[in-house]
Structure 1
């Protein structure tokens, strides 16, 4: 049965961030993810997880200067030392929070920039991160992101992400399969889940969902999520499914889609 984690960066925004843990737990979530933890001491976040009986399943490595539009630095030439320092901080947080997955954001590339140079930097940084993460029992994930939400993002397609993982060739580097992004860029989601879930190496390390095209609840839009949830179960996925969507109205009011799965979990 699918296990769902609330994304506290997008859900429960009617509350201050520290209050979102309690709100998610009250609605029946057993796990959370979010974009970045770095504004808060790791010990404070650990306390919130423990207080509300929640598991931390994922967060992102530092993205560079988010306010100035940066969306990761792992593929940016000349930023390698900054990446290493930021990744060390991410590992410190992961140790405290207990999550076993870290999403390394690639960053942006402009049309006039040398893609092969960016790719070479990206692979070196990912190999470095995966080596350090392996010592902690942590899996690094990379996520193809659609060019509508983040124009110029370096990584856009599932097959490209899988190729990068295979080229680096370590067990703890996998793809974060966001169904929302995949549907917008390339579609044919079920076939790609079947193809990539069955890989002996690389494969899928984490799944995220949202309705398409508006990134609201997963029962709104063009994607048949009940079918995909059954398929994900059939394929033997054991991880969490992150609910990375923007509720159309109040978060709790929009959770009707989740109720059948919560009832099954209690049965």
Structure 2
């Protein structure tokens, strides 16, 4: 059965962030995700989850200086100490929010990066992920990596599903999985169902959005009912995060999700 989680960083922008929990629950969501919790006290977020009977299903480790354009620390040589601190902070919030999954954003390659620079980033990425996976294993959490398309995020280190599989193999941690974002995969590679099948043993979380505008999944080029039906048939038991920008009012745009328990 497909279970949808509301991405509160994107959905319900009509409301202040802390009000989005109740809006998500009223719309029929039982789980929520968002980019980062760190601007709020963990106890505030915990109360919002409890008050609305919601599960926290995912958030990201601290990404570096987001406002300055940084998009993760995991592959950045020379930032290892900062990455390790980010793991500690992420785990602190995950424990408080009973969140089972944390995503470590890979970060950006410098413009014009040569082969040696790419190799240095890869080596740093592997070592940082080994550290993070080990720390998360101690507290029973799953670490995620996500291929992200280079159109939305130019220079992002991890962009392809095959590359993600190679990283998982090199890290060698049972609790390291792939955050399979159907929107990003469609833009970079297409062939969603076959890519999903190939990646399925490694998938720890799924996200969706309409392509190409990143609006509701019923807007754009992807036949999401067929894709989600196949995901369900494969035996997926996790959450599907709705990480899209509403084309209009969020609640009015949820008609696509009625078959999955949402209320437009």
TM-score w.r.t. the length of structure 1 is 0.96
Q: Does 1:162 align with 2:165?
A: yes
Q: Would you say the 8 A contact 1:142–1:174 is kept in 2?
A: yes
State the shift of 1:70 in Å: 0.3
Q: Deviations over 1:139-198 (max 9, x none)?
A: 10000000110000000001101110111111100110000000000101100111111x
Q: Matches of 2:60 and 2:252 in 1, distance apart?
A: 28
Q: Does 1:71 align with 2:57?
A: no
In structure 2, what is the equivalent of residue 93 of structure 1?
A: 93
In structure 2, what is the equivalent of residue 229 of structure 1?
A: 228
Q: How does 1:97-136 map to 2 (within 5 A)?
A: 97-110=97-110, 111-112=112-113, 114-136=117-139
Runs (4+) of structure 1 exceeding 2 A deviation are none
Q: Does 1:58 align with 2:61?
A: no
Q: Secondary structure at the match of 2:261?
A: helix
In structure 2, what is the equivalent of residue 262 of structure 1?
A: 261
Q: Matches of 1:210 and 1:22 in 2, distance apart?
A: 22
Unmatched runs of 5 consecutive residues or more in structure 2: none
Q: Secondary structure at the match of 2:11?
A: coil
Structure of greater relative contact order (alpha carbons < 8 Å, 6+ residues apart):
2
Q: How does 1:1-267 map to 2 (within 5 A)?
A: 1-110=1-110, 111-112=112-113, 114-197=117-200, 199=201, 203-262=202-261
Q: Secondary structure at the match of 2:205?
A: strand
TM-score w.r.t. the length of structure 2 is 0.97
State the shift of 1:259 in Å: 1.0
Q: Deviations over 1:41-83 (max 9, x none)?
A: 0111000000000000000000100110000011101100011
Q: Secondary structure at the match of 1:21?
A: helix
Q: Matches of 2:184 and 2:199 in 1, distance apart?
A: 16
Unmatched runs of 5 consecutive residues or more in structure 1: none
Q: Would you say the 8 A contact 1:162–1:174 is kept in 2?
A: no
State the shift of 1:112 in Å: 2.7
